[in-house]
Structures are given as C-alpha cells and as structure tokens.
Amino acid sequence: MHRPITAMLWEVWGRHRWVLAVSPVYFLALSILSHAVSDGLIYGLDLSVYKDAIFFVLLFLASPLVVGLIPLFAYACDADIAGRESTFPARMLTLPLTTRALVGWPMICGTVAIALTWLAVASLVLRPAGMDVPLWWPAVFSASCLAWIQAMAWRPFGLPGMRILAAWGPIGGLVAVLGLGWGVRLPEVVASLLLAGTILPAFVVAVVGLSRARRGDVPDWQWLATWVQRVAGWFTCRGRPFATASRAQVWFEWRRNGLGLSIFVVLAILFLGALILVNRHNPRLPAGSPFRSPILLLVVPLLGAMMAGNGWGNCGDPGRGLAMRAFLATRPISGGGLIWAKMKAAAIGTAVAWGATLAAVVLMLLLTRSWAELAGPWNLVTGNLPAAQTAALVILGVALLLGGTWKSMFGNLFLGLAGRDRVMMVAASVFVFAMAATVPLGYFVLMHPQYHADLWSALPWLLAEVAVLKLALAGWALRAIRRQGLVDGPLLKRLLLGWLLAAAGLLLLLGWLLPAEIAPWYLLLPCVVLALPLLRISLAPLALAWNRHR
Amino acid sequence: MNDLDTKPPETVVDLRGVTRRFGPTTALDDVSLSVPRGTVFGLVGVNGAGKTTLIKHVLGLLRAQTGSVRVFGLDPVADPVGVLSKIGYLSEDKDLPDWMRVDELLHYNRAFYPSWDDRYAEQLRRTFELDSAKQIKQLSRGQRARAGLLAALAHRPEILVLDEPSSGLDPIVRRDILTAIIRTISDEGRTVLFSSHLLEEVERVSDYVAMIDEGRIVLCDRLEQIKDSFHCLTLRFDAPQSDPPTVPGALGWKGADQEWTAVCNGRLEELQAAAAEAGARIVGQRVPSLDEIFVARVGRTCPASDEE
C-alpha cells in the first residue's frame, strides 16, 4: 500500500468486508428475482396488474445496496451522528495528508461507488422487471446526496443533534433542484449536470468543516445547549428517580433505541408528507399511485421498526463490537429483566410511532380533503360484512399493524443479544441464501401447474410440521431457560399464558371472520402458531446468557 | 441457599482451580485464590498476565471452563443478581454510556441498589467535582474514572472491585481520593479487590497481594508476610567472582567481581548461613520493595500505566 487512496479503500474494505462480500450475492438474488418476474404474465397471474407493487418491493429490497453506502463512506457506522464532533475517524486526522486529500479521496470513491451501484441496480434489477427507471439523474442525485451527507457528517456542530437537522438543508435543496427540473421539464442530461454541480460546493464545505475538526475547533453553543437541556429534561429522568430497577432499564432501552426510532418516524413523516403534498397534483403519476395518498405514511412505523430491529438486541458499545458492555452486564438485573425491558421499550416505541403516524395521516387527510379516497379500499376489505365482523376486522387489522411493528423490533432480538459477529454473519448468509433458494423454487412452482393441486393438499401438512418443529424447539429453549434459572418462574408462566390466550383469541377471530371452506381449522391452527412469536422470544434469554457470561 | 443468611463466610471471593483458555492462549491456568472479608486485596501483573480475566470471572462476565468461582458463597454466573447487587465495579475501560448525563447515571444506578445512599452519592459528586448536567462523553478521561468510581461506591457495596482504577487519574487524585476511599472501605469492614500496574500504590494500600504471571498465581500472601520473607542482600566476597554466587532462595543476582546483590526468599538466619557457606559476608541488608520482589519473582518489570 504505497498510496493513501489504497490504504483508505483498504480500511473501508477491512472494516466492512463481510457486508461488502455479501452485497454482490444479495444483488445477484435480486437480479434473478427481477428476471423471474420480467415476463409479466406467468400462468394465469397477470403481473402487470401488480406492476406498481412489484416496483415498490424491488425498489425497497434494492435500496439498501445504494443507501447502505452512505454511512460506510461518511464514516458514520460507528460514530455518534447526533454528537457535536466530526464523524471522521480521529485517528485519520493525524495522517500526513492535506485536508483536501482526506476529504477528496473518500468523497470521490463514495460518489463513484454509489453512482455505479445505482446504474447496476437500475440496469440489472429494476429495468429487467419492466420498470422504465431513469439511469443518470438518480445516479448523480445519489452521488450528490452522499457528498453533502459527508460534508455534514465531517463538520463539527455547536449542538448535539444539530447535524441531523442541518443535513436536511442540502438534501432538501437537492430535492428542490430535482423538483424544479421536473417542473420545467429539463432534459435528463441538464438535470444531471445541475445535480453534479452541487458536489463541488459539498467538497468545499467538507474541507472547511474537517479543517475545523482537525484543529479541534468544535463550536460550543453552551447558551443554547443549556436551554435545550432544560427542555430535554422534561422528557428524561432528571430529578425523578426510578421506582424500580425494571423502570430504570426500560428508560435505558428507550433512550438507547426508542428515541432514535421516534426521531426517524417524525422525520420520515415530514419527508413523505411533503412528497405526498407535492405529488397530489402531479399529472405524471397515475390516479391510484400510493405516492399521492396519505395512506403511504402507514409504511413509516413498519419501516422504522424494521430498521430499529437490527440494533434492538445489540448490547455492545458502538465501534467496539457486539459483546455486551461491562457496564450493562454488571447491573444487578436478571437476563429476563433485561429482555423484558427491551420488549417494553419496543412496545412504547410502537405506540409512539403509530400515534405520530395516525395523527399525521388524519392531518394529511384533512389538509388534502381526501377522505373519500378511503371509501374504495374500505369497501373492498369490509364488503358486505355485518357490523360485528367489520369491527372484528378493524380490531384484527389494528392488532396486526401494532403487533407486526412490535414484532419487527424484537423479532431478531436473539441475534443481537448473542453478541457475536459470526452469529450475525451466519444469520445474514442464511437470509440471503434462503432468498436465493426461494426465488427459483417459487418460480419453479409457478411454472409447473401440474404440481399445484398436490402442493395445495400437502400445504396443511407442511405447515403443521413446521409448526410442530417450532413448538418443539421453543419447548427445548423454555426447558433450558427454566433449568438455568434465566427467567423467573412466575414471569415465564405469565408469558406462556399470554401466548396461549393470544393464539386462542386469534384462532377464534380468524375462524369467525373467514369461511371454513377457505380457511379450515387445520390450516388456521398452524398459521396462528407460526405467526405468533414464541421460538425467537424463547431463544433470547439463552442468547443473552451466552453473551453476558462468556 | 445463601450461607450469608446464617453465618457470614470469612472468604468473600473464592476461586478453585479456575482455568480459562481463549483459543490457543491460556489466560488463567489452574488459579486458586481466596479473598478474605474486610481486606484490601491487590492483584499485580504485567499486561496480559490474566488480572482482568480473573476479575471478569469474579463478576460472572466469564464462565469458568474448569474449576469453580464463588462470591459470597454464590456462583456469579448462576445468580448474577445476588452477586452483582453486593459488588461495586469500576472497569478498566470506564465504559459508562456516553449519552447519559451524570445525574442520569446516578438515577439509573440508584434503581438497582436498595442500599444506595443519596447523601453519600452527593458528597462524592462534590468531592469529585462532577457537574450533574454534563454528559459522560463531555467528561475528560479522569472525570469519567471519577464518575465510574462514584457509581461503584454510592451503594456502599460489600465488595469493591476495581480493575486498573488508577488509569486516567492524575497522581493527586490517585493519592488523595483513590487511596483514601480504599482505606475507608476497608476500615468499614468491607472488602476491596483491585488490580494495578502501580506496585507502589498496591504496596501502600493492600493487606494481601497476589502476583499473577502468564495466567498463574506465582505469589499470594499477606503483604507483611511477603515483606518478611524476602530480603535484599548485598554479599561481598574476598576474591572476585566470575559467576553469580549460589545461595538457596536467591532470585537473580546483580553485580560483578566481589560484590553481588539479590532479592532472596527465606529466613534471614538461613540466608546468612548460606552466604557464609558460599564464602561471602552480608554487607547490606534491607527490606525490598514490592516492585523489586515482583521483578525478582516474575523476572521482568511491571510496565507503568499510561500516566507514568
């Protein structure tokens, strides 16, 4: 390594080699999926009807490939992005390089990488599925966004959290440039050049910011910080000691994970809300497009929960691996108590996220006077159901939304609680390989209708076998928990009773709502067992003990 | 289940034949150790000797691969709440949550310990000159160490476990606060187990000392007993000696020609007799420092901490 650029790229590779190695496999799986649906018509299923939905799913699945590069090249993976200090690694500030070089190399590498990744995703994932996505301006837009995020990330700020707010300025500016270009129908080349032109100012801002960070010139707006802390004090434990250790731990988990989720939800609502308002009268979007309906906001809590779920089980220290930090491991609280606190914090996070989202949806419906748009989907779902069944359907829907959000947050808790990189890597690999295997398998099944009848009749058996396997594994895990005394006996009994009641309630409700000829009990029962979380919750105390007592 | 309910054991920490391996490295090798109640127990050793590994076994953060660990008669892995509620712990890394403010740290910790003493916590906060409204990440390294010490002390733990407590503390704070605290706790009949590179500091406050090297306890006894059993002797021969003299109990000689000096282990009378038998007379005799004993016993110097 004779050149700084080689060393800097090597560091990025070395730090994230597993993710970077898995990404091409993930990309390949998406490309196969995209080609699988590219025919548009597969044995009676006219996929063109679901074109919007397929596009949304593919875009959602492919977005981590592009968006994931942002924290990587902004050196924000292990940094405190809400903090005042620059996220630029302090050890690199002492390298014998000019600030221009320190900023320039990662900015060039990052912008090129993100632009090329978009081109690859658009050409090999989205376009083969029949989506006529533009190539150039999104590539340049991604690069410009990354450059400005780098500039904001590497600049020190006077207040905690200010970076996140400040970053919305240039990002909003880029969106405005895009909207302006769209409005006056600029050619794609001109829009791309306009966006590319913003990278140079981002570089200048980044150099000025990093120069300040390099000489330790971190602004301190103490007068404002004192005021902010006073306001923040209303929402924290300051002056109010906790009554129990459990409450203290719930507060800890809320501050560590839940607060970030709430901030994400609020920012996402603002962003999507603005997008919906802009798109309301956009003639280019079809009338039924989800991007012009306030209902789109309902994806925010689920999206936020899925993102937060990745870190919800992590008991480690940012930048120091997943191993449980000694501070937490030495608090006199049982493993069961720690997990219970995480579950409660997840429940609070769910309530806050949905509360904010529903308030925003109602507000948007009022602002856009689009209540009437809800009538269609409502009638489609409820049809001619009697009032009691309609009410039950609403309750079920709300429970599914809330439960789904909550489950997304702690569903993979046991992976993070295990506190081992290799467990995360194995889980990620299993997910990618399962996806890679499911796509061709599903395609094969769709392509061979002669097997459909047999598969349909075997489905209850298959589901029952998987459900029995799940219950057997959960039983083993619960027995191990009991034997090792990881969770108090009464708490364990309460959890099991709660699960049984939820399963029985869901079974009865679904049995009442769905006709027996569509969903017989022998199909519903394994579905309910598989839908309700049990095994993964049961594994959580074992994973935590494995992490805490190494 | 809990022996303390009936008869308090004299030994608060008891390790028996504990072995711990990390891959090919043996971090602890058949370690047996007892920490008596109401004493200050110092663990000394070079970097990587196994001090932190041993302390992590006491806290239940590591599970003994062989052997047993008992703290207050309890297994810290099987009953973490029972053990940890009686322990105040300051880690080597001072890994307090960066995002917490000092007052939040105190409120949070207070909830876990029924014995938490608000007045004592406030007194310590003032002594340590910590600003309640400051976030942990805004504190200097020394202030973080003080905040960690405050959180470890304010519930008046039955045993205080300090892993390299001097790291990050300046010499004045180290002497005036840390030493005073350790002695106060010991005077109150509570126990302190601490590891340190600074042998002078260990010598100043410890009742018991265990020297650990490459995962093995090479010396463990009362400090006075250790000091009584080691002597720094200077021998003078009538004629120049080309090789170091042979005296039973001598741990490495320094010198040349007619005068040789060594730290020797044994009774003074026996050493005097051995020196005479070797043809030398003792011209200098003093009690060696713990540092000298450590160097003689382990064979290499104990590196100083960052501040030294």
HEC sequence for B234-258: EEEEEEEECCCCCCCCEEEEEEEEE
Residues A203 and A96 in one domain: yes
Range of the domain at A122: 1-235
Question: Among A340-354, A511-525, B174-188, B266-280, which stretch is predicted with the lowest mean pLDDT?
Answer: B174-188
Q: Does some domain include residue A382?
A: yes
Of A127, A19, A33, A21, nearest in space to A435 by CA: A33
β-pair type (B191-196, A41-42): unpaired
Q: Does some domain include residue A405?
A: yes
- Cβ atoms < 10 Å from Cβ of B86: 20
Residues A65 and A142 in one domain: yes
Chain A residues with CB under 8 Å of B107 CB are 237-238, 240-242, 248
Q: Do A549 and B62 touch (CB under 8 A)?
A: yes
pLDDT band at A310 (very low <50, low <70, confident <90, very high): confident
Residues B78 and B218 in one domain: yes
**Average pLDDT of A96-102?**
90
- Taking 80 as the threshold, does the pLDDT of residue B97 lie above it? yes
pLDDT band at A470 (very low <50, low <70, confident <90, very high): very high
Among B177, B207, B222, identify where a domain stops.
B222
Give the CATH number for residue B15: 3.40.50.300
Looking at the complex, does the CB of residue B224 fall below 8 Å from at least one CB of chain A?
A: no
Among B222, B248, B265, identify where a domain stops.
B222
Residue A260 makes CB contacts below 8 A (sequence gap 6+) with A308
Are B139 and B125 within 8 A, CB to CB?
Answer: no
Residues A212 and A253 in one domain: no
Residues B115 and B55 in one domain: yes
Determine which helix (DSSP H) or strand (DSSP E) holds A136, and give its type and residue range.
Answer: helix A136-154
- Cβ atoms < 10 Å from Cβ of B256: 11
Looking at the complex, does the CB of residue B62 fall below 8 Å from at least one CB of chain A?
A: yes
Distance from CA of B203 to the nearest CA of A (A): 28
Are B101 and B143 within 8 A, CB to CB?
Answer: no
Of A473, A478, A460, nearest in space to A522 by CA: A460
Q: Does some domain include residue B305?
A: no
Chain B residues with CB under 8 Å of A226 CB are 133
Among A209, A235, A261, identify where a domain stops.
A235
Residues A198 and A347 in one domain: no
pLDDT band at B284 (very low <50, low <70, confident <90, very high): confident
Q: For position B4, what pLDDT does the model report?
A: 41
Residue with the larger pLDDT of the pair A379 and A487: A487
Chain A residues with CB under 8 Å of B21 CB are none
Instruction: Find the DSSP H helices in B85-187.
Output: 102-110, 118-127, 141-153, 171-173, 180-187
Q: Do A331 and B63 touch (CB under 8 A)?
A: no
Residues B108 and B246 in one domain: no
Residues B270 and B239 in one domain: yes
Residues B67 and B134 in one domain: yes
Residues B175 and B254 in one domain: no
Q: Does some domain include residue B20?
A: yes
Of B283, B41, B264, B271, nearest in space to B162 by CA: B41
Q: Do A241 and B103 touch (CB under 8 A)?
A: no
Interface probe with B: pick from A484, A487, A549, A550, most Cβ of B within 10 Å: A549
Interface probe with B: pick from A231, A255, A330, most Cβ of B within 10 Å: A330
Q: Which two tokens stand for residue B45?
A: 């050793």
pLDDT in tens, B242-253: 887 788 888 878
Looking at the complex, does the CB of residue B11 fall below 8 Å from at least one CB of chain A?
A: no
Interface probe with A: pick from B57, B75, B104, B149, most Cβ of A within 10 Å: B104
pLDDT in tens, A401-458: 898 888 888 788 888 899 888 888 888 778 877 776 776 677 778 777 888 888 888 8
Residue with the larger pLDDT of the pair A79 and A166: A166
Residues A31 and A63 in one domain: yes
Angle between helices A489-513 and A521-531 (to 10 degrees): 140
Q: Residue B88 pairs with which residues in a beta bridge?
A: B160
Question: Helix or strand or coil: residue B62?
Answer: coil
Name the A residues in 299-358 with CB < 8 Å from any B CB. Answer: 317, 325-327, 329-335
- Taking 80 as the threshold, does the pLDDT of residue A136 lie above it? yes
Residues A202 and A294 in one domain: no
Q: For position A222, what pLDDT does the model report?
A: 62
Residues B13 and B25 in one domain: yes
Among A235, A261, A290, identify where a domain stops.
A235
β-pair type (B191-196, B159-163): parallel
Question: Among A135-139, A230-234, A477-481, B50-54, which stretch is predicted with the lowest mean pLDDT?
Answer: A230-234
Question: Helix or strand or coil: residue B94?
Answer: coil
Residues A404 and A489 in one domain: no
pLDDT band at A365 (very low <50, low <70, confident <90, very high): confident
β-pair type (B159-163, B87-90): parallel
Chain B residues with CB under 8 Å of A237 CB are 104, 107-108
Residue with the larger pLDDT of the pair A253 and A371: A253
Q: Does some domain include residue B306?
A: no
Domain count, chain B: 2
Domain count, chain A: 3
Q: What are phi and psi of A156, to 5 degrees?
A: -75, 150
Q: Does some domain include residue A427?
A: no
Q: Do B98 and A80 touch (CB under 8 A)?
A: yes
Q: Does some domain include residue B281?
A: yes
Q: For position A43, what pLDDT does the model report?
A: 47
Whole-complex ipTM? 0.83
Q: Does some domain include residue A426?
A: no
Reported as half-sphere exposure (CB side, CA atoms, 13 A), residue A226 has a value of 3
- Taking 80 as the threshold, does the pLDDT of residue B73 lie above it? yes
Among B222, B256, B288, identify where a domain stops.
B222
Q: Which of A238, A330, A331 sits opposite B103 (nearest CB)?
A: A238
Q: Does some domain include residue A432?
A: no
User: What does the alpha-carbon distance between residue B160 and residue B89 come to, in Å, rounded to a whole number?
Assistant: 6
Residues B182 and B268 in one domain: no
Residues A372 and A487 in one domain: no
pLDDT band at A226 (very low <50, low <70, confident <90, very high): low
CA dihedral for B64, B68, B73, B74, sign (positive or negative): positive
Q: For position B304, what pLDDT does the model report?
A: 43
Name the A residues in 52-71 with CB < 8 Å from any B CB. Answer: none
Determine which helix (DSSP H) or strand (DSSP E) holds B66, and give its type and residue range.
Answer: strand B66-71
Q: For position A447, what pLDDT does the model report?
A: 74
- Taking 60 as the threshold, does the pLDDT of residue A464 lie above it? yes
**Average pLDDT of A376-388?**
74
Determine which helix (DSSP H) or strand (DSSP E) holds B221, and give its type and residue range.
Answer: strand B216-222
Looking at the complex, does the CB of residue A245 fall below 8 Å from at least one CB of chain B?
A: yes
Q: Does some domain include residue B286?
A: yes
Of B139, B135, B146, nearest in space to B172 by CA: B146
Residues B22 and B166 in one domain: yes
Chain B residues with CB under 8 Å of A325 CB are 95
Looking at the complex, does the CB of residue B221 fall below 8 Å from at least one CB of chain A?
A: no
Q: What is the mean pLDDT of chain A?
A: 84
pTM of this structure: 0.76
Residue with the larger pLDDT of the pair B222 and A258: B222
Residues A185 and A299 in one domain: no
- Taking 60 as the threshold, does the pLDDT of residue B308 lie above it? no
Q: Does some domain include residue B277?
A: yes
Residues A215 and A261 in one domain: no
What's the alpha-carbon Rg for chain A, to the nearest Å? Answer: 25
Residues B143 and B83 in one domain: yes
Q: Residue A458 pairs with which residues in a beta bridge?
A: none
pLDDT band at A276 (very low <50, low <70, confident <90, very high): confident
Q: Does some domain include residue A428?
A: no
Share of chain A above pLDDT 70, in %: 91
Residues B69 and B115 in one domain: yes
Chain A residues with CB under 8 Å of B85 CB are 332
pLDDT band at A227 (very low <50, low <70, confident <90, very high): low
pLDDT in tens, B157-182: 999 999 888 776 777 767 766 776 77
Which chain A residue is nearest to residue B108, measuring alpha carbons? A248
Q: Does some domain include residue A443?
A: no
Residues B153 and B69 in one domain: yes
pLDDT band at A376 (very low <50, low <70, confident <90, very high): confident
Q: Does some domain include residue A442?
A: no
If phi > 0 it is left, if psi is from -120 to 50 it is alpha, else beta; for residue A35 that is: alpha
Which chain A residue is nearest to residue B83, measuring alpha carbons? A332
Q: For position A428, what pLDDT does the model report?
A: 79
Range of the domain at B118: 3-222
Which chain B residue is nearest to residue A256, measuring alpha carbons? B99
Q: Do B91 and A326 touch (CB under 8 A)?
A: yes
Q: Does some domain include residue B179?
A: yes
Share of chain B above pLDDT 90, in %: 33
How many distinct helices (H) and strands (E) make up chain A?
24, 2
User: What does the alpha-carbon distance between residue B141 and residue B124 come to, in Å, rounded to a whole number?
Assistant: 17
Q: Does some domain include residue B303?
A: no
Looking at the complex, does the CB of residue B77 fall below 8 Å from at least one CB of chain A?
A: yes
Helix, strand, coil abundance in chain A, percent, nearest 5: 75, 0, 25
Residues A1 and A146 in one domain: yes
Residues A120 and A229 in one domain: yes
Q: For position B113, what pLDDT does the model report?
A: 93
User: Which range is most confident: A137-151, A441-455, B90-104, B189-203?
Assistant: A137-151
- Taking 90 as the threshold, does the pLDDT of residue B92 lie above it? no
Among A411, A442, A474, identify where a domain stops.
A411
Q: Do B111 and A244 touch (CB under 8 A)?
A: yes
Q: Do B111 and A245 touch (CB under 8 A)?
A: yes
- Taking 70 as the threshold, does the pLDDT of residue A233 lie above it? no
Residue with the larger pLDDT of the pair A257 and A146: A146
